[in-house]
């Protein structure tokens, strides 16, 4: 989904291109950390750290969590 007007998207892209790589990386890392905190805040409070990591992996990387966190038999 893209609901951003083309002119606004162009302006945003231009501003990012004016930044150096370190600035862009920092913004991306901060955005990821914010998304991570939002996702974690939606998890049940009484889960283990391992379960929290599995749920986070599932939320961000659909399908990978089964490989990264195989169910124990």
Residues 58 and 24 in one domain: no
Dist CA 40 CA 69 (whole Å): 17
Residues 22 and 38 in one domain: yes
Alpha helices in 1-73 (DSSP H): 6-18, 21-41, 49-60, 65-68
Question: In angstroms, rounded to a whole number, what is the distance separating the alpha carbons of residues 64 and 5?
Answer: 33
Per-residue pLDDT tens for 14-72?
999 999 999 999 999 999 999 999 999 999 999 999 999 999 999 999 888 888 888 77
Residues 3, 33 within the same domain? yes
Residues 61 and 34 in one domain: no
Whole-number pLDDT of residue 73: 61
pTM over the 0.95 mark = no
């Amino acid at each position: 989904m893209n609901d951003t007007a083309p002119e606004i998207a162009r302006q945003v892209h231009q501003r990012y291109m004016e930044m150096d790589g370190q600035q862009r990386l920092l913004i991306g890392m901060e955005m990821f950390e914010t998304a991570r905190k939002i996702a974690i805040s939606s998890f049940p409070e009484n889960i283990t750290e391992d379960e929290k990591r599995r749920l986070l992996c599932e939320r961000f990387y659909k399908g990978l969590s089964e490989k990264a966190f195989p169910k124990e038999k």
